[in-house]
Structure 1
Amino acid sequence: MTTNYNVTINQQIKQQISHQSVADLDVIPAGKNTVHLLYNNQSYHVELIDKNYNQKTYTLKVQGTIYTVQISNALDQLIEQMGLSTASSKKVNQIKAPMPGLILDISVKAGDTVKENDTLLILEAMKMENSITSPRDGVIKSVAVKKGAAVDKNQLLIEFE
């Protein structure tokens, strides 16, 4: 496997960056989600606006300009070459309770369209409120529980179309 990263910026500019050039960057933390970067004798203020670890995309603000950056490492490249990429085939059709608990709130109903990471419901377990979020974009087929219901681990909560 190679030690290069394939980087796509704003879904247009494609670059290949070596692991060594990343290691050689002069980066100084400047606050939460903010760094000061020195590159080619120029100083840059970089802020992390958003991140999606599953898709390996990051939204950065560099000197006031927003960039969306997607990074793939050697393993990602090998999986893509083999035609085994799972990113496009992620198809979760059911949400089940990750633990026993009590349904505090339900934010969706059958027929609603949701986006990935939208909150679907709140499950109270061990005196903590847990937001159950959508794993993908889709349409809700059915909601199998009601507000105030006690649920067991692995009990069906929501189905997607």
Structure 2
Amino acid sequence: MSANYKITVNKNVTVDVSEADAASFDALSLGNSKYHVLKESVPYNAEIIDADFNAKKYTVRINNTDYVVDIANPLDQLIKEMGFAVGATKQVNSIKAPMPGLILEINVEVGQEVKENDPILILGAMKMENSFLSPRDGVIKAIAVSKDQAVDKGQLLIEFE
């Protein structure tokens, strides 16, 4: 059983390519990431301009036209179907109150640069103090609450740039 790859070109054309399809290309290396390719008796000059091996993203110049090519192997495809993002980073832009409570302390100011896990604020709720840490590196864009203010569940507390 041969593996099938999804090749996306310039983010708008997707082609399924099997290992057998890839093997049918007649390619001759000219050195320095340059190749002479023969496909169905049609010659092509190909050059790999940029390669991000980890992201499986390449910029390829074929007959003086550049193409951005993304390659997804069967595992990448399965991960995407399951709804997971490979190598995704956290991009939390706001912190909201998970429960009603009272703002006991605010440890940041608007414009302040924070690192992931820096203390942001303390919310008193159900006779407990809940410390909120920064979910990511960033800059505080807005503080929507003040000390000693009562807040409702889901209310915006802090916003990041």
TM-score scaled by structure 2?
A: 0.54
Q: Which residue number corresponds to residue 37 of structure 2?
A: 37
Q: Which residue number corresponds to residue 4 of structure 1?
A: 4
Assess, with a 3 A threshold, how the Cα gap between structure 1 residues 47 and 75 changes in structure 2: closer, same or farther: same
Correspondences of 1:70-109 after superposition (within 5 Å): 70-87=70-87, 89-91=88-90
How far off is 1:24 after superposition?
Answer: 2.0
Q: Which amino acid aligns with 2:69?
A: V
Task: List gaps (5 residues or longer) in structure 2.
Answer: 92-112, 116-135, 139-161
SS in 2 for 1:20: helix
How far off is 1:85 after superposition?
Answer: 2.0
**Which segment drifts farther, 52-61 or 64-73?**
52-61
Q: Which residue number corresponds to residue 54 of structure 1?
A: 54
Structure 1 moving runs of 4+ over 6 Å: none
How far off is 1:141 after superposition?
Answer: 5.3
| Distance of 1:3 and 1:40 partners within structure 2 | 22
Q: Which amino acid aligns with 1:46?
A: A
Query: What does the per-residue CA deviation read over 1:43-97, in whole Å, with 9 as the maximum and x for residues that have no partner?
Result: 111000001123211000000000001110101001111112223x2249xxxxx
| Distance of 1:18 and 1:86 partners within structure 2 | 22
Preserved CA contact (<8 Å) 2:5 2:18: yes
| Distance of 1:56 and 1:90 partners within structure 2 | 17
| Distance of 1:160 and 1:20 partners within structure 2 | 45
| Distance of 1:141 and 1:53 partners within structure 2 | 31
- Tell which structure's C-alpha radius of gyration is larger: 2
| Distance of 1:2 and 1:28 partners within structure 2 | 23
Preserved CA contact (<8 Å) 2:2 2:20: no
Preserved CA contact (<8 Å) 2:6 2:14: yes
| Distance of 1:53 and 1:26 partners within structure 2 | 23
Q: What's the % identity of the aligned pairs?
A: 33
Q: Which amino acid aligns with 2:62?
A: V
Preserved CA contact (<8 Å) 1:2 1:74: no
Task: List gaps (5 residues or longer) in structure 1.
Answer: 93-139, 143-158
Q: Which residue number corresponds to residue 111 of structure 1?
A: none
| Distance of 2:52 and 2:34 partners within structure 1 | 17
